[in-house]
């Protein structure tokens, strides 16, 4: 007997995981590839923001970068002071 119904139509489809196009698959977030995917996703999200949300995100990113720079400088002065 010929039918037009498919056997798998009764089963619900599961959620589709996010797959980054550059890698073509999801990466383990605890690896370098996963961190690169996370940074790329963050950059894509930041590029899509506009208005006050974009300004707030830029301020947060700049504060993080300044904090990292101050930590490096403070550590360098600590090493020089030991000598």
Span 13-66, pLDDT tens digits: 666 566 555 556 677 778 888 888 888 888 888 888 999 999 999 999 999 999
Tell me the pTM. Answer: 0.54
Q: 20: which strand partners?
A: 25
The closest alpha carbon to 42, from 60, 24, 28, belongs to 60
Q: Are residues 38 and 57 in the same domain?
A: no
Q: Are residues 82 and 54 in the same domain?
A: yes
Residues 7, 3: Cα–Cα separation, whole Å: 10
* Host domain of residue 23: 11-48
DSSP 15: P
Total of domains in the chain: 2
List the Cα angle 34/37/38 in 5-degree steps. 90
């Amino acid at each position: 007997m010929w039918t037009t119904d498919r056997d798998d139509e009764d089963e619900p489809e599961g959620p589709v995981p996010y797959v980054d196009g550059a890698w073509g698959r999801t990466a383990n977030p605890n690896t370098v590839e996963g961190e690169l995917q996370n940074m790329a996703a963050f950059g894509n999200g930041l590029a899509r923001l506009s208005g006050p949300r974009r300004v707030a995100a830029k301020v947060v990113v700049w504060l993080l970068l300044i904090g990292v720079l101050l930590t490096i400088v403070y550590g360098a002065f600590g090493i020089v002071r030991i000598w």
